Each structure stands twice: as C-alpha cells, then as structure tokens.
Structure 1
C-alpha cells in the first residue's frame, strides 16, 4: 500500500462547536461502521478539553448504544458533573443524526504521591523485538489504512496450550479442527480461561500530551480485547459476529502509547450471547500502567 501515513493524532482531532460541544469524524472499520475504539477515544478528548490540564484521567466507563457511521460527523456533548479539589467528573454523549450512539463517564484526578503501591506481575512472554507483526490484514485491506499507524506483535502459542492460553495461528483464529475447538474450554489448563498476550504501540512518535496517550491507549485496547472471549469458538462452523457493548478502563501509572506495551488479556466468562474480556497493560519495565474490561455480544450466523 502506498501513500502518505496520516498522523495518529489526526484520528482524535475534534472541532470546537460551542462551549462543551465538539465534533469529529471516524474512519471506516466494518463497512460504514465507525470503529468503537475511536469513538471512545474522541469522547475522552472531548471530556479532557473541559478539564484543567493539570488533572489526569484515571478512569472511564462507556456504553456502545448504537453503531456509528463513517459518512456523518459525530457530535460530542460534555456535561460538567463535578469539579472538586482532587477529582473532576465529566459525562459525554456521542450523538449522530439526533441519536446517542455512545455514552461515557470519565474521572480526572490531580496527581499525587502515595506510599501505598502494589501491582500484578507481568507475564513472562517474548519481547516485541523477537516477534513478527501480527495482524496481516492491516497491511492488505485499504479500509484498515489508519491501522498502519499501529504495530501489534503476538507470541504464537505452540500446539496445545501455554499457561492456559488457547493455541492460535497468529491471527486470533484457533488452530486444529472444529472438534478440538469445541473441546477447548474443558481442556484448557489451569483455571480454564482463554488468554492472549500482545504487544501494542502507536507506530509513530506522539506529542508529549498525557491526555493524548491515555486516549490512544483506549483506541489500542479495543483492537484485540473482545476477541479474547471469541478464542475458544473461532474454529466452530458459522460466522461469529462480535459487537462491543461496554468498555471500562483505569489508568494506574504514567506511560507513553508510542512505547511498547504488553496487553495481557483473558476472558473469565461467556454466556447468554455475551463474552467478558479483561486485560492489563504493562510497560517494558514490567509496571502495570492500565487495566481494561469489555463485554461484547457474540452472535453466531
């Protein structure tokens, strides 16, 4: 594919329409459907534009209510819920053609030092420099042009399973026969959860704006998280559609989204047509910098 790479920051750029009202456009994901990670990240940008710059976003909780389209602008309406001495709260509604397609609450905090600290240990996986780029369709399909700004690396599980992970062929699809796939939940080692570990980063240098890096990580998290719940069923007959229902994130420590981050993901449950996935981002020093949880609809055709 040839042509000029756009700046990743352009994907999150919003126009100011009025006080607490912003407007943005989304690139194509599924045919004519806006990529949910971009909608959530733009909503974060809108919220952050109404908050003092010395405050840092530490959490968000969002619901995907309707699919967004790529041929019409999205308007972001920000409500100023609270401005406290330490914490600031905002609510954002993403509206397209008069209908709310996404709703989010976000909380910001004035940074402070605290003695209390503990964190999950990072899994022992190969580093990104020893792994191939993972999502080959990114390089082949024109509709994924914006994803050329993203680098994703994945360790390919050997036949069988490692640390309870589902064996994959490197694209998220399960290896082996449909019969083996159907038996995977029962034969998975340990606690029975499907797992995947991927290294991600924005594949260009970003400005030193902490809000941009937080929003970029939300964008990155939506690329692979819901597919974790899908892993045990990938080899079964028929087509399984995955639709994000809600998304929550917590930001624990400073990080840069243009540095390699390990996204360790698992899925503790799937049932009732919904799959729950969760993940923790680690920097290359092994520090847990952010957590994410998402529930997605799993619909077989």
Structure 2
C-alpha cells in the first residue's frame, strides 16, 4: 500500500452489524501498544457512522483503560444514547480479546443554531514556511518519524511562549497532512483526533529536558469549535500547567493558518519516573 494512503486505511472501519465496527491495526515498526490517537480516531469514526448527516461532533470525552496491542485489530461497539433535534450522543467502547481497552462518549450538534461569537487569538509565532523540517519529532518515541511520515511537523516554539505566563511547560508545533483528503468535515474531524494525541503529553517534559519518564495517555478530551482541514497548516499550541505524583495535565489549542481557534484538547497522562532499562513508551526490541 502506498504510504500516502495510511490515514485512509486507519479510518476505513469495517461495519460488522449492530453498530459494531472493526478498526485496522497499526502499521508500525516501533509501537508495541496502539498509539492513543489511532484508537480515539477510530472510535469517533465509529460513532460518526451512526450519526445523521446534518450533525457534526462538537466534543468527546474518553479514558484509556488498558493498552491495546498495536498488531491487532480493534472492535468498536457504539451505543446510541440520544438522538434529539439538536444533539445526538454516542458511547463507544474499544475491545481486544474480550477486554475493554478504551471508552468514549461523544456529542454531535447540528450547525443551525446562532449565538454570540468570540475566540482566543492565535499566539504570535513564526509561520510554518519559515521553519526547518526537523529530523526528529517531539514525541518521546524513538523512530516515530516513520509512523508519522504522512505529516509535516515543524516546531514553532520549544518551550512556553510569553503569552502563557501561567504555564510551566509547553511547546507549539505546526502540522499538516501532506496528501489529498476527502473534502468532508467528518473525515477531517476524525483525522484531527488522530493527530491531537501526538506530541501533546511530551510537552509536559519541555521544562524538564533531562528527565526520563514513562509516558502514557490516561484520558483525552477534545472540543471542536469550527470546521477544520488537516491537510492545511494547523498550529498546536501546547501547555502543561501542572505535573505532580507521576501525572501531568496537558492542554492544546488548535488554530488554523488564518488564526481561527478550531479545537481545544485536554489530557492527563502518566509521567512516572522511568525505571532502569525501560523506554518512555514501550517499543519493539531489535
């Protein structure tokens, strides 16, 4: 399969009847456990497949309950909790080997309501075209560049920016998908969820560059404000206001190139002291 089709493959779920779907395994030479964004993106894709066309996702709240195996497909079961005139709600559970790995509740809203409009401005950071393409990405996973080869990722600020005075640790990156994608809001929302977990937790270590920690996403929340296209430049403005007891809270604001705030992400993750001989994220041994 041509590498430019990998994101399509990941998000192409197989319907199995009764609001159940099968999600393809990762194509990875690095990961032992499934990347959290992979699982979350497939879960929201499963939920979206049960939603009428006039509604789009506006929020998701989820927990990673146990690791999924990167080499195995995942089964997603969708429960229709509500179908109202304005909102629909779905619960999605991800299963491997009869074990529940991940649980999400997502809400969908139609686009016909009007109300007040305001948004946080985008921070003043260098444009992506002025930045070098780094040889490595700030993910905490050695060799992850192959797994994210379809994405153009550039570091805009490697540390907290002046407008984030209350943030102890942080990082800002520009990213975009390199290839053509369907011009569909739902597909791009799923793709954004896929990318939203990449690099986010590692930003908690930007203030501790020498600290070696075990990393794992514990939960993941996304609020979607405006339609987005992930094959156009997006700024991921990441911050970590607190870390304690082996856990870190991280947040990310996503802006399009025009400066519109399109989504906000929040996550608590494990940042526990790394034991001797271990890696930050479990990887395949050569």
Q: Which residue of 1 aligns with 2:171?
A: 196
- Alignment of structure 1 residues 97-112 onto 2, 5 Å: 97-112=97-112
List per-residue Cα deviations over 1:41-75 (Å, max 9, x = no partner): 00000000011022100000010011111222210
Deviation at 1:208, TM superposition (A): 1.2
Q: Which residue of 2 aligns with 1:21?
A: 20
Q: Give the secondary structure class of the aligned counterpart of 1:290.
A: strand
Q: Give the secondary structure class of the aligned counterpart of 1:155.
A: strand
Deviation at 1:199, TM superposition (A): 0.5
**Cα 1:289/1:4, change in 2 over 3 Å:** same
- Alignment of structure 1 residues 18-97 onto 2, 5 Å: 18-27=17-26, 28=28, 30-97=30-97
Q: Give the secondary structure class of the aligned counterpart of 2:198.
A: helix
- Larger Rg computed on CA atoms: 1
List per-residue Cα deviations over 1:221-250 (Å, max 9, x = no partner): 1111111112222213xx311100000000
Q: Which residue of 1 aligns with 2:279?
A: none
Q: Which residue of 1 aligns with 2:3?
A: 5
Greater per-residue helix proportion: 1
Deviates more, 1:145-154 or 1:258-267: 145-154
Unpaired segments of 5 or more residues in structure 2? 275-286
Whole-Å Cα distance in 2 between the matches of residues 135 and 59 of structure 1? Answer: 34
Query: Structure 1 segments of 4 or more deviating over 4 A?
Result: 141-144
Whole-Å Cα distance in 1 between the matches of residues 143 and 167 of structure 2? Answer: 37
Whole-Å Cα distance in 2 between the matches of residues 29 and 274 of structure 1? Answer: 28
Deviation at 1:30, TM superposition (A): 4.9
Across the aligned residues of Structure 1 and Structure 2, the Cα RMSD in angstroms comes to 2.2
Alpha carbons 2:255, 2:261 under 8 Å: kept: yes
Unpaired segments of 5 or more residues in structure 1? 166-189
Whole-Å Cα distance in 2 between the matches of residues 70 and 10 of structure 1? Answer: 15
**Cα 1:146/1:261, change in 2 over 3 Å:** same
Q: Which residue of 2 aligns with 1:129?
A: 129
Number of positions where the alignment pairs a residue of Structure 1 with one of Structure 2: 270
Deviation at 1:272, TM superposition (A): 1.4
Q: Which residue of 2 aligns with 1:243?
A: 216
